[in-house]
């Protein structure tokens, strides 16, 4: 069952391409006013226009999730858009790869800043809006590397593990205010990032961004009596657990 999100406001970060784009389109089709956020204005403008062309409502807001002033400005714009925030999907992230012994510290700092700091800042700002409402849903996008390890992905893996810890704590803190928090851990998805990280994988066996978007819709279709802590969705050809 797909949710009816008419009248709600949803913010999706990293929404200019790949998984984020698919999620934004799906939420727009479900009736939500979508705030499409990412660094590249041209990409988010195209996504917002696609939602509008399909009969939905969307606005595009450029953001650098690693920069606190930029995140604060984004959420100020969300307040102006609908005076509320019903759904936040933290999808923005980058991947930089290499062995631990050779990995530049500057690259580590960048991955942590975007993937962990950015998710933390957006959760923090979302809570400021959702707590007074006593409602809302925060969905963080982690990865299979949130509980597994692969060669040359130490920095990326560390941040996805950290997102798991952040989500677990936030779910406990937010629950008393009627806010639900879940995390989705996708396996290999056919995106530019995955192709860079795992060029050895056959794209034909990978998940599609729409698979993750439909998982988000599933979470939002549940009654407020249900709480889902995490969903691990993998490609059928991979080993479980």
Q: What is the CATH number of the domain that holds 225?
A: 3.40.50.720
| Active-site residue, 218 included | no
Which among 35, 88, 27 has a CA at the least distance from the CA of 218? 27
Please tell me the distance from the alpha carbon of residue 48 to that of residue 195, in angstroms, as a whole number: 26
% the chain with pLDDT above 90? 85
Q: Looking at the domain assignment, is residue 4 inside a domain? A: no
| Candidate list 97, 137, 150, 156, residue with the active-site label | 156
- Residue 194 clears pLDDT 80, i.e. is over it: no
Mean pLDDT is lowest, of 80-89, 165-174, 202-211, for 202-211
Mean model confidence pLDDT for the chain? 95
Q: Looking at the domain assignment, is residue 69 inside a domain? A: yes
Q: Looking at the domain assignment, is residue 98 inside a domain? A: yes
Domain holding 152, by residue range, is: 9-233
Taking each continuous run of H as one helix and of E as one strand, the counts in the chain are 8, 7
Please tell me the distance from the alpha carbon of residue 133 to that of residue 123, in angstroms, as a whole number: 15
Please tell me the distance from the alpha carbon of residue 172 to that of residue 57, in angstroms, as a whole number: 32
Q: Looking at the domain assignment, is residue 1 inside a domain? A: no
φ, ψ (nearest 5 deg) of residue 201: -85, 140
- Give the predicted TM-score (pTM) of the model: 0.94
Q: Looking at the domain assignment, is residue 198 inside a domain? A: yes
Q: How many domains does the chain have?
A: 1
Q: Looking at the domain assignment, is residue 3 inside a domain? A: no
Which spans in 101-237 are helix H?
A: 105-111, 118-133, 154-175, 192-197, 209-221
Q: Looking at the domain assignment, is residue 183 inside a domain? A: yes
Q: 193, 18 in Cβ contact below 8 A?
A: yes
96: Cα separation from own chain's centroid: 18
Burial (CB < 10 A; 0-12, 13-18, 19+), residue 77, is: middle
Q: If pLDDT is split at 50, 70 and 90, which confidence band does 8 have?
A: very high
Beta bridge partners of 182: 139
Q: Looking at the domain assignment, is residue 2 inside a domain? A: no
């Amino acid at each position: 069952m797909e949710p009816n999100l008419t009248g709600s406001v949803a913010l999706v970060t990293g929404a200019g391409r790949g998984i984020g784009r698919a999620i934004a389109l799906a939420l727009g089709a479900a009736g939500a006013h979508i705030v499409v956020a990412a660094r590249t204005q041209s990409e988010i403008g195209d996504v917002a226009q696609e939602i509008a062309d399909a009969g939905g409502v969307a606005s595009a807001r450029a953001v650098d999730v690693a920069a606190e002033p930029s995140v604060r400005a984004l959420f100020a714009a969300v307040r102006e858009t609908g005076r509320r925030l019903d759904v936040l999907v933290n999808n923005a992230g980058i991947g930089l790869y290499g062995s631990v012994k050779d990995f530049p510290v500057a690259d580590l700092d960048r991955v942590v800043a975007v993937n962990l700091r950015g998710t933390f800042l957006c959760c923090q700002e979302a809570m400021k809006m959702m707590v007074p409402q006593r409602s809302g849903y925060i969905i963080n996008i982690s990865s299979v590397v949130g509980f597994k390890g692969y060669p040359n992905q130490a920095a990326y893996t560390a941040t996805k593990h950290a997102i798991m810890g952040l989500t677990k704590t936030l779910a406990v803190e937010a629950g008393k205010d009627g806010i639900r928090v879940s995390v989705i851990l996708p396996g290999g998805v056919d995106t530019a990032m995955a192709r860079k990280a795992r060029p050895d994988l056959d794209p034909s066996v990978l998940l599609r961004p729409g698979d993750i978007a439909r998982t988000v819709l599933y979470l939002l279709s549940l009654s407020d009596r249900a709480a889902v802590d995490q969903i691990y969705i993998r490609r059928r050809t991979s080993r479980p657990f």
